[in-house]
């Protein structure tokens, strides 16, 4: 039997070590931060502390689209893979990957507004965008975590509390400046590379590095924000009633459902409602009627748009770093069988002594107004996104095992997952459904050598 031989191909570390990083520094106005530099630890840090041990080949802190183009070209010349970072909230740690060149976009900030259109730099967190647009009485439909980057959220879709009214974030995207994997800077719009605009609307992390985004904004209005709770042992009834309420609720009204494991075998069931100012009481009544049960508690506030943002963010636009593990399933229906599986999964986690949650977000309303052919974001004809998650101190291995078990339980009802909650080792097509073949064709055209790093499998 012949002796085994080591793989002769160079490792990512070998490739990075052979690159002339000083040459790249001479080509950009920003800063190349290497593992030997004193600021490397801070430069590579992202929000989720689970990934503190990852070791990027370099962090390139760019100051312009031209810097990005130079960095991307350098990666191609040296056989490096690269990943972009804006907010640093990648659930799989993609924006701090070992052996990968990280293009840090946080120096590309700025929000310019004019007559219903906003040009926004990818370095902005959602809190930056909210505050800048609020001065004009405008906003975008985004998520509730204030430190998430506008770039990553948009490129993966962007679900939030105004999705029923205005759709997902990427539905508001009308143009972008994009650096392709060959280092070319191109303007993207309905009339210039519409194939790339389609891809950026929900699948953009696979086609290039965006250095600016242009959006159609929407009015920032006062809100009623209501938190209600139900008995944990009636969670299935609450989910079914919530689903029934959504069928007739005005699209200006939104609510999600959370089921928390208490670590002792029990559950906590609660909902957040966001609706037009002074309508909270009537929405609670309608939702309670659909559920067939009054809430245990009701906490209602009438807030300005910006105050509502702060409240939904937990009372502050800043948040401490934390360790967490998440996954997701997209379901076409929320019938009693699917609801039963969700309750079974979170109950088992609680009975095992763990704390965690399931959050169910609706995919109805204006999310369905954009035709499937107009955006890479694929989940237009589905009932809900089911997010599974656990925060510290639950070890990530335990949480990941539970998320995997939950996937297996719900497998027959699951259509895929939400790419902003991607999980390492999954196949890419799980996140794009019927749009994957078209997105794959665009990706193969602009990035035939797979220079853009991903933890997903082709």
Q: What is the mean pLDDT of residues 381-394?
A: 96
For domain 223-303+322-426, the question of CATH label 3.30.56.10 is answered with: no
What per-residue confidence (pLDDT) applies to 303?
98
What per-residue confidence (pLDDT) applies to 2?
34
Q: Higher confidence at residue 296 or residue 392?
A: 296
Q: In this structure, are residues 78 and 15 in contact, taking their beta carbons and an 8 Å threshold?
A: yes
> What is residue 3's DSSP assignment?
P
What per-residue confidence (pLDDT) applies to 17?
74
361 has which bridge partners? Answer: 385
User: How far apart, in whole angstroms, are the C-alpha atoms of residue 399 and residue 396?
Assistant: 5
What per-residue confidence (pLDDT) applies to 440?
97
The fraction of the chain above a pLDDT of 70, given in percent, is 97
Q: How confident is the model at residue 1 (pLDDT cuts 50, 70, 90)?
A: very low
For domain 111-220, the question of CATH label 3.40.50.720 is answered with: no
User: How far apart, in whole angstroms, are the C-alpha atoms of residue 262 and residue 260?
Assistant: 6
Q: What is the mean pLDDT of residues 306-326?
A: 94
Whether the pLDDT of residue 304 is over 60: the answer is: yes
Residue extents of the structural domains in the chain: 12-104, 111-220, 223-303+322-426
12-104 shares its CATH topology with 223-303+322-426: no
119 has which bridge partners? Answer: 112, 214
Q: Which of 176, 211, 214 is CA-nearest to residue 195?
A: 176
Provide the mean pLDDT of the chain. Answer: 95
Whether the pLDDT of residue 101 is over 80: the answer is: yes
3-state secondary structure (DSSP) of residue 274: strand
Specify the pTM.
0.95
pLDDT tens-digit readout, 391-421? 999 999 999 999 999 999 999 999 999 999 9
Spatial neighbors of 309 by CB under 8 A, at least 6 apart, are: 127, 130, 144, 146, 317
pLDDT tens-digit readout, 172-209? 999 999 999 999 999 999 999 999 999 999 998 999 99
What per-residue confidence (pLDDT) applies to 16?
74
Q: What is the mean pLDDT of residues 428-451?
A: 97
Q: In this structure, are residues 201 and 169 in contact, taking their beta carbons and an 8 Å threshold?
A: no
Q: Which of 157, 46, 175, 64 is CA-nearest to residue 110?
A: 64
pLDDT tens-digit readout, 12-51? 666 677 899 999 999 999 999 999 999 999 999 999 999 9
Whether the pLDDT of residue 214 is over 50: the answer is: yes
pLDDT tens-digit readout, 229-277? 999 999 999 999 999 999 999 999 999 999 999 999 999 999 999 999 9
pLDDT tens-digit readout, 116-157? 999 999 999 999 999 999 999 999 999 989 999 999 999 999
Whether the pLDDT of residue 316 is over 70: the answer is: yes
Q: What is the CATH number of domain 12-104?
A: 3.30.43.10
Rg value, the chain, Cα: 22
Q: Which of 155, 164, 168 is CA-nearest to residue 366?
A: 164
The torsion of the CA quartet 243, 427, 398, 53, rounded to 10 degrees, works out to: -120
What per-residue confidence (pLDDT) applies to 7?
37
The residue length of the chain stands at 458
The fraction of the chain above a pLDDT of 90, given in percent, is 94
Q: What are phi and psi of 298, to 5 degrees?
A: -135, 125
């Amino acid at each position: 039997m012949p002796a085994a031989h080591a793989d002769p191909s160079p490792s990512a570390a070998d490739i990075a070590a052979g690159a002339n990083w000083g040459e790249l520094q001479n080509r950009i106005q920003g800063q190349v931060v290497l593992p030997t530099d004193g600021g490397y630890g801070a430069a590579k840090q992202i929000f989720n502390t689970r990934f503190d041990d990852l070791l990027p080949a370099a962090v390139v802190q760019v100051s312009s689209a031209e810097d990005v183009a130079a960095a991307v070209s350098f990666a191609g010349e040296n056989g490096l893979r690269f990943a972009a970072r804006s907010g640093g909230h990648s659930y799989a740690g993609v924006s701090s990957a070992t052996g990968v060149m990280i293009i840090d976009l946080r120096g590309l900030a700025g929000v310019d507004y004019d007559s219903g259109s906003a040009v926004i730099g990818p370095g902005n967190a959602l809190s930056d965008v909210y505050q800048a647009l609020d001065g004009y009485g405008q906003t975008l439909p985004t998520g509730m975590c204030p430190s998430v980057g506008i770039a990553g959220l948009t490129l993966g879709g962007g679900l939030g509390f105004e999705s029923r009214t205005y759709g997902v974030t990427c539905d508001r995207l009308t143009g972008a400046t994009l650096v392709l994997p060959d280092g070319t800077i191109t303007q993207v719009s309905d009339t210039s590379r519409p194939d790339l605009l389609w891809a950026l609307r929900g699948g953009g992390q696979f086609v290039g590095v965006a250095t600016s985004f242009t959006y159609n904004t929407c009015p920032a209005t006062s809100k009623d924000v209501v938190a209600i709770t139900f008995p944990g042992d009636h969670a299935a009834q609450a989910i079914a009633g919530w689903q029934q309420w959504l069928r007739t609720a005005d699209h200006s009204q939104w609510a999600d459902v959370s089921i928390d494991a208490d670590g002792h075998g029990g559950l906590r069931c609660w909902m957040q409602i966001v609706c037009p100012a002074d309508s909270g009481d009537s929405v609670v009544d309608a939702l309670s009627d659909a559920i067939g049960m009054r809430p245990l508690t009701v906490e209602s506030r009438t807030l300005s748009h910006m105050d509502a943002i702060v409240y939904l963010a937990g009372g502050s636009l800043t948040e401490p770093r934390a360790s967490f593990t998440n996954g997701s399933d997209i379901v076409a229906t929320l019938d009693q069988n699917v609801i039963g599986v969700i309750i079974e999964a979170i109950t088992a986690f609680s009975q095992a002594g763990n704390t965690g949650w399931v959050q169910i977000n609706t995919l109805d309303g204006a999310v369905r107004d954009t035709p499937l052919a107009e955006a890479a974001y694929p989940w237009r004809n589905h009932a809900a996104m089911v997010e599974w998650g656990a925060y510290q101190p639950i070890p990530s291995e335990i949480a990941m095992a539970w998320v995997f078990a939950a996937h297996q339980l719900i497998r027959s009802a699951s259509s895929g997952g939400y790419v902003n909650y991607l999980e390492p080792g999954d196949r890419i097509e799980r996140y794009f459904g019927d749009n994957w073949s078209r997105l794959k064709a665009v990706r193969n055209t602009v990035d035939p050598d797979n220079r853009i790093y991903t933890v997903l499998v082709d």
